[in-house]
Structure 1
Amino acid sequence: MKQLTGAQIVLECLKEQGVDTIFGYPGGAILNIYDELYKQKDEFTHILTSHEQGASHAADGYARSTGKVGVCFATSGPGATNTVTGIATAYMDSVPIVVITCNVGVGLLGKDSFQEVDISGITLPITKHNFIVKDVDKLADTIRRAFRIAKSGRPGPVLIDIPKDVTAAKASYTYQEPEKIIRSSEHIREMDIYTAISLIEESKRPFILVGGGAVISDAADEVREFAEKVHCPVCDTLMGKGAFDGTNALYTGMIGMHGTKASNKGVSECDLLIAIGTRFSDRVFGNAATFAKNAAILQIDIDPVEINKNVMAYAHIIGDVKAVLTVMNRRLSQQNHNAWVKKIMEYKVKYPLTYDKGRLTCPEIIEKIYERTKGDAIITTEVGQHQMWAAQFFKYDAPRKLLTSGGLGTMGYGLGASMGAKLGNPDKVVINIAGDGCFRMNLNELATASRYNIPIIEVIINNSVLGMVRQWQDLFYDERYSYTTFNDPVDFVKVAEGFGVIAKKVTTIEEFEFAFEEALDAGRPVVLDCHIDLDDKVWPMVNPGGSISEAFDQNDLNQKEAQ
C-alpha cells in the first residue's frame, strides 16, 4: 500500500481504467495534477486544446467513436464552466465521459474566492452523476465509481470536482481492477418478451425504428438478424445511424422532420412500430397525436424513464438492446411480409432524395466523400443543414461512423469531436462536415489540430448564412431574414492558413474532388471551403409540430403554388 498525493491518485486511477488519452487545459487550481502529468507524460497522450469546450467535445468524439470513456481536464471557475456545453451535449446523447475539474481549496469553498464556482451545482441537471471530493481518502473510490456510472446502464457524463488542497494531500493507494460492466438484463421480463413476440406474429405491416440505444449497445448484428426475422422495413433516427446497415435492401432512410417520405409514410401506415433504443424526440414524431396512429407501438429501451415519456407505447421491454434482441432472436420464428415490404420499397423509388446537379451542392459533396472513401470513414458534423445532408446522403453501414450532436444540437461540436475520433481511431479517415456559421464558433481548434498534426479533414459548407435558420425564415417567417446573413469579408482559407493548416477554396464539384483527393493524401489537417448557394434547402421537410406523414419538398410547394 503506497502513500500518494491526490494528484498521483488521479493519474493512477485513470491508468486502472485503461485511459491513455486526455483532453484538457491547465490552470491554477489543477496545477498539481498537471505537474504530476508532466512527470508521467510517457504514460498518457495529453491534448492541449484551444478552449475547454473543445476539450469536452474531443472527449465526447473519442468516446462515441471508440465506445470507451472519454476524459477531459479543466481548472476552476471559467475553466470549469467552459466545459458545460460539452457536458450537456454528452448528456443529451448518452455519451460516457468523465470530466475532472479542480477547485479552490476546501477552506475557500463558498467564499467567492478567486476563480471559484460551484461546478457541481451548475452541472447537476446535465450529468448522470457528479461529485466534489473534499477528502483525499475518498478520491480513488470516487474516481472508480465515476467511471462505473459513466459507462453502465444508459451511459452519460460524470463530473468530479477536486479542491486543490486535496490534490496535494496524501492517502494510501492500492491498485484495483475495474469492475466488469454487465449488460442490463435484470429488468427483462418473460411476460414482456411473450407479449412482444405475439405482437410481431400477429402483425401484417410491421416497421422497425432504430435509435441511438442500438449504437450504444453495440447491437448492430442483433438488429440485422431481428429485422430479417421480422422481415419488415427499417428506418432510423439521426442518432441511430449505422446500427442498421444503410445499404441493406430493407432500409428506408431516416425518420422525422427531415426523414425520407418512404420512412415517414411507412411508419404512418404500419400496424406495429418496433422502436429500438429511441427516446422519441420531437424531431422524430412531429405531432404525437398523429404519430404512427395506425400502429401498436412496441418500445425497447434500457431506461424506464423513456417509456411513455413522449409517445405512448402499447407494450414495452426494459433492458439493454443487445440483451433484449438476443432473447427475441432466439424465440422469434421467421416472418414473411412480402407485400408490405414491396409497398414500402415502391415508396423509396417514388420518393427518392434528390438535389440540383447543375451546381455545387452539399448533397453531391457528401456523395463524393462516400464514393471516394467507399463509406469507410468517420463523419462528424456540426449542426444545421449540412448535418441533415450528411445524415441523408452518406450510407452508414456500421455504428459509430456518424458523430453528431442530436439532442442538444450544439453548433461548434464537430471539430473537437473529429480530433477526438481521429486520436481514438488513428487508422480511420475522419471528416468534419461544418456550416460556415458553426465553423466560426470553433475555428480556434484548428490551432490544436495544427499543433499536434491531427490529420482531420474539415469540409466547410459555406453559404454565407445560417442555413437552417434561413430555411425556416423562408418557409415560415415570410422571408424576414433577421440577422442570419454574414455580411463580412472573412476569408476562411486565409484564416486556416494562419493556423498552419492546408486550405483550399472550392466552387465546383470537380474542384472538390481534386482538393479532397489531395486532402486524403496530405497527412496533415486540411480545410476545404466549399461555396454553395445561400438558398439551398434540406428536403423533405415537416412543418414544426406537423404530422410526419405530411412531409413535403420543393416539388410539393411548386404544385401547391400552381393550384
Structure 2
Amino acid sequence: MQEINVSELLVEKFKNNNLNFIFGILSSGFMELGDILYDTDIKYIGTRHEQWAGHIADVVGRLTGKPQILLLPGGPGVTNSITAITAASINHSPMFVLSDGSTSITSGKNDFQDIDGTRITDHITKRSVTVNRPDRVNEYFSMLYNLAQTPLQGPVHMEIPRDILLMKTSYDMEVKNPAILYNNYPSVETVKLVLNMIANATKPVLLLGEEINNPEGRGPLEEFIEKLRIPACSTHGNNDVLNNSSKYMLGAIGRLGSKRAMEVLRMADMVLVLGSSMNPYTFSPYYGFNYNEITNNIVQITMDPVNAGRNFTTFQNIICNPVQFIKLAIQIIDSQEFNLKSSKYPNWYESIDNMEPDIFHGTYNNKVFEILFRKIPVKSNISLDAGSMSMVMLKWQKFGIHGRLLTSGNMGEVGFSISSSIGAKLAIPDTPSYAFMGDGSFTMQMSALITAIEYDVPVKLIIFDNSAWGSEKAYQIAMYNNRFFGSNLKNPGIVKVARSLGAIGIEANDIGTLEHDIEDLNSSDKPAVLVIKMENDFPTPVRSLDAVKRVYRGLYKEHHS
C-alpha cells in the first residue's frame, strides 16, 4: 500500500480507466489536482461555462461508451451544469461528475459556495454522493464509475470537500479496476416466441430506439435486419441507428420524420420495438398520423422496466438488453432450427408512396436545404439544436453510413450543438463535425465557440439566420394571426462576432453562391461559421396535446388564425 493524497488517488483512477480527457472549469478546490495532471498525458479541455463542458463530456461518452470526467467547482459550478447533466441522463450517456465542496468542518454553515450539490443532482444522476472520509474516495470512485457504464448508462456525481482533497490516504498501486460485464441475456424461449410472432405476421415492422443506438448495437442490428428482411423505422432523433442506405430503413417517425415510415408503422400488424421507451414525443402526430391504431401485437424489448408498457398497450414486455436479444436471435436463425418464412412479407411496404412533402411553403428555404443535403459530406457527425430550422436536418438521408446524429433528445435543448460538435470531433478526430443551429441559439452559446478556437478543434457551424425564435414564431403564424410576442430577435452581426473570436466567418446571402460557400466551409481546417440568411417560412409546427392548442377565453378577445 502506498500513502498518497486524495488528489493523487484521483489521477491514478483516471489513468487506470484509460481516460484521455478531463472537461470542465478548474476551481480553487482542485488546484492540487490540476498541478498533478500537469505532468500527465491526460488532456484538460476548459470551457467558459460548465454547461458546455457537460455537453462535450456527454457526447464523448456516447461515442466511446466510456464515462468521461466533468470537473466542476462546487456551488454555482454544479448549478450551471444542471442542464447538461440532465441531457446526459435523458440520453443514457455515461458521465462521471466530480465537484469540490465546502470543507467537512464548514459545510452547512453558509460557507463560501456552500450548496448541497449532492441533493441538487440526486434526481438527475444514477447516484450522487458526498465523500466524508479520505479512505472512502477509492471505494466511491470505483462504485460510481462502474455504475455510470452499466445499463442503462448515465451520469453519476461525487462531491469531495476541499479539505479532504488534500488529505492522505492509502492506495494499492497494483490493483486495477476489474472489467465490467453486464449482459442481461433474454431466454432462448423468449427470443423464439418473438421470432414466431414475426413469422406469423403479414406486415411486421421494427421500431428502433436509443438503447441500441450505440457502437455495440449497430453492427448486430444491421445483420439482424438483413436476415429478417422486414422494414424498419427509428424513433425520433435516432435516425442514425441503422445505415440509411439500407433498403429496409425507412427513416424516423415523429417531428420532421419520414411520412413513409409513419404510414408503414400505422399499417403494421406486428411491431417489434427494440430499445425504446415509446415516449409520447416520439409519437407526436406529425402529418396528422394517429398512432393509437398500432395497439395490436406490440412487443417492447427494453432495459427500462419503468417505461415498459407505460405509453402504449403492448402484447409483450421483455426486460433485457436489446443488443443481447438481437445477438441471440441471430444465433437461433443461423442454427436453421427456425424458419422465418420471410418470403411471405419481403416487399409489402415497397408500394407505399416514398415521396416526402416539401418542408416549407415557399421555394427559397426548400432550396437551401436541398443544397445542404447534397453538399454535406456523407462521412459527417451532425449535431442539432432544437429549433424549427436546425431540426430540418433530420430529413438528411445519409445518417448511419459513416457518421452520427447527436441531439439533446427529449431534453429539446437550444444550446447543445456547438459543444456537442466539439465532443464529436474529440471522440472521432477523422470525421468532420457539423453543428446546426438558429441565430438565437448561436447567440446563446457562442462562448462555446471560444473553446473550439482555444483548443484548435475544427468544428463547422451552420447558422440559420431569420432573426427569430423560429418554433415559437411558427405557432404565432399558424395559430395567432401573426401577433408576434417575444419571437422576433435583433442580432449582432454574427459573422463579425465569429471572426472577432478567431473563427473563419462566411456569410451566405445569395442562393446562387451557397454551394461555393458550403465548399469553403467544408475545406476549412479551423473552426468555421457559415451564416445562411433564411426567409420567415417555417415547417409546420407539431400541434401535440402538450404544446399549443386553442383554449377557451372568457375575458380577453381571441385572435386565432
Query: Normalising to structure 2: TM-score of the pair?
Result: 0.90
Once the two structures are TM-superposed, the CA of residue 345 in structure 1 deviates from its matched residue by 2.7
Report SS of the residue matched to 2:213: helix
Is contact 1:70–1:96 with CA below 8 Å preserved after alignment? yes
Corresponding position of 2:70: 72
Corresponding position of 1:293: 294
Give runs of aligned pairs for residues 97-496 of structure 1, distance below 5 A.
Answer: 97-175=95-173, 176-186=175-185, 188-216=186-214, 218-286=216-284, 290-293=291-294, 295-332=296-333, 333=338, 335=340, 342-351=347-356, 358-361=363-366, 363-370=369-376, 373=377, 375-398=378-401, 401-486=404-489, 488-496=490-498
Take 1:203 and 1:331, find their aligned partners in 2: how far apart are those partners? 19
Once the two structures are TM-superposed, the CA of residue 93 in structure 1 deviates from its matched residue by 0.7
Q: Which runs of 5+ in 1 are unaligned?
A: 547-560
Once the two structures are TM-superposed, the CA of residue 315 in structure 1 deviates from its matched residue by 0.9
Take 1:381 and 1:226, find their aligned partners in 2: how far apart are those partners? 29
Identity of paired residues, percent?
A: 25
Q: 1:246 to 1:379 in 2, by over 3 A?
A: same
Between 349-358 and 102-111, the greater mean CA deviation after superposition: 349-358
Report SS of the residue matched to 1:537: coil
Is contact 2:22–2:44 with CA below 8 Å preserved after alignment? yes
Q: Which amino acid aligns with 1:430?
A: S
Report SS of the residue matched to 2:411: coil
Is contact 1:505–1:529 with CA below 8 Å preserved after alignment? yes
Residues 517-560 of structure 1 show CA distances to partners (whole Å, capped at 9, x for unaligned) of: 2233321100111111122315xx653149xxxxxxxxxxxxxx
Take 1:119 and 1:401, find their aligned partners in 2: how far apart are those partners? 33
Take 1:209 and 1:396, find their aligned partners in 2: how far apart are those partners? 16
Q: 1:16 to 1:510 in 2, by over 3 A?
A: farther
Residues 386-426 of structure 1 show CA distances to partners (whole Å, capped at 9, x for unaligned) of: 34212212411258611111121111111111111111221
Q: 1:45 to 1:358 in 2, by over 3 A?
A: same
Q: 1:217 to 1:48 in 2, by over 3 A?
A: closer
Q: 1:366 to 1:149 in 2, by over 3 A?
A: farther
Residues 350-391 of structure 1 show CA distances to partners (whole Å, capped at 9, x for unaligned) of: 445666794254522530343xx1x10111111112342122
Is contact 2:69–2:97 with CA below 8 Å preserved after alignment? yes
CA RMSD in angstroms, aligned pairs only: 2.3
Once the two structures are TM-superposed, the CA of residue 484 in structure 1 deviates from its matched residue by 0.8
Corresponding position of 2:3: 3
Identify, as 1 or 2, the structure richer in helix.
Answer: 1
Moved over 6 A (4+): none
Report SS of the residue matched to 1:410: coil
Is contact 2:212–2:241 with CA below 8 Å preserved after alignment? yes
Take 1:281 and 1:11, find their aligned partners in 2: how far apart are those partners? 40
Corresponding position of 1:37: 37
Q: Which amino acid aligns with 1:328?
A: A
Take 1:326 and 1:388, find their aligned partners in 2: how far apart are those partners? 33
Q: 1:105 to 1:224 in 2, by over 3 A?
A: same
Matched, 1:517 2:519: yes
Once the two structures are TM-superposed, the CA of residue 5 in structure 1 deviates from its matched residue by 1.0
Q: Which has the higher contact order (CA 8 A, sep 6+)?
A: 1
Is contact 1:262–1:344 with CA below 8 Å preserved after alignment? no
Between 132-141 and 386-395, the greater mean CA deviation after superposition: 386-395
Once the two structures are TM-superposed, the CA of residue 259 in structure 1 deviates from its matched residue by 2.0
Once the two structures are TM-superposed, the CA of residue 336 in structure 1 deviates from its matched residue by 5.4
Between 269-278 and 468-477, the greater mean CA deviation after superposition: 468-477
Report SS of the residue matched to 1:98: strand
Q: Which amino acid aligns with 1:296?
A: N
Q: 1:180 to 1:512 in 2, by over 3 A?
A: farther
Take 2:511 and 2:172, find their aligned partners in 1: how far apart are those partners? 59
Residues 152-195 of structure 1 show CA distances to partners (whole Å, capped at 9, x for unaligned) of: 11100111111101110010112332222224224x23442232
Is contact 1:271–1:294 with CA below 8 Å preserved after alignment? no
Is contact 2:296–2:314 with CA below 8 Å preserved after alignment? no
Take 1:327 and 1:455, find their aligned partners in 2: how far apart are those partners? 41
Q: Which amino acid aligns with 2:31?
A: L
Between 170-179 and 353-362, the greater mean CA deviation after superposition: 353-362
Take 2:179 and 2:41, find their aligned partners in 1: how far apart are those partners? 23
Residues 279-303 of structure 1 show CA distances to partners (whole Å, capped at 9, x for unaligned) of: 1121222379843435311111122
Q: 1:407 to 1:490 in 2, by over 3 A?
A: same
Q: Which amino acid aligns with 1:117?
A: I
Q: Which amino acid aligns with 2:160?
A: I
Report SS of the residue matched to 1:138: helix
Corresponding position of 1:17: 17
Q: Which amino acid aligns with 1:494?
A: K
Q: 1:342 to 1:290 in 2, by over 3 A?
A: same
Q: Which amino acid aligns with 2:322?
A: V
Residues 14-56 of structure 1 show CA distances to partners (whole Å, capped at 9, x for unaligned) of: 1111111111111223333223323x2x421101111111110
Once the two structures are TM-superposed, the CA of residue 13 in structure 1 deviates from its matched residue by 0.4
Q: 1:7 to 1:297 in 2, by over 3 A?
A: same
Is contact 2:439–2:491 with CA below 8 Å preserved after alignment? no
Take 1:386 and 1:218, find their aligned partners in 2: how far apart are those partners? 32
Corresponding position of 2:553: none
Take 1:338 and 1:65, find their aligned partners in 2: how far apart are those partners? 37
Q: 1:16 to 1:395 in 2, by over 3 A?
A: same
Take 1:341 and 1:323, find their aligned partners in 2: how far apart are those partners? 25
Corresponding position of 1:49: 47
Take 2:495 and 2:327, find their aligned partners in 1: how far apart are those partners? 50
Take 1:534 and 1:386, find their aligned partners in 2: how far apart are those partners? 10
Is contact 2:128–2:157 with CA below 8 Å preserved after alignment? yes
Query: Normalising to structure 1: TM-score of the pair?
Result: 0.90
Take 2:307 and 2:512, find their aligned partners in 1: how far apart are those partners? 47
Q: Which runs of 5+ in 2 are unaligned?
A: 547-560
Take 2:510 and 2:6, find their aligned partners in 1: how far apart are those partners? 56
Take 1:379 and 1:156, find their aligned partners in 2: how far apart are those partners? 22
Is contact 2:379–2:402 with CA below 8 Å preserved after alignment? no
Report SS of the residue matched to 1:106: coil
Take 1:167 and 1:131, find their aligned partners in 2: how far apart are those partners? 15
Take 1:511 and 1:68, find their aligned partners in 2: how far apart are those partners? 42
Once the two structures are TM-superposed, the CA of residue 343 in structure 1 deviates from its matched residue by 4.5
Is contact 1:376–1:429 with CA below 8 Å preserved after alignment? yes
Take 2:190 and 2:25, find their aligned partners in 1: how far apart are those partners? 48
Report SS of the residue matched to 2:100: strand
Take 1:102 and 1:112, find their aligned partners in 2: how far apart are those partners? 16
Q: 1:365 to 1:123 in 2, by over 3 A?
A: farther
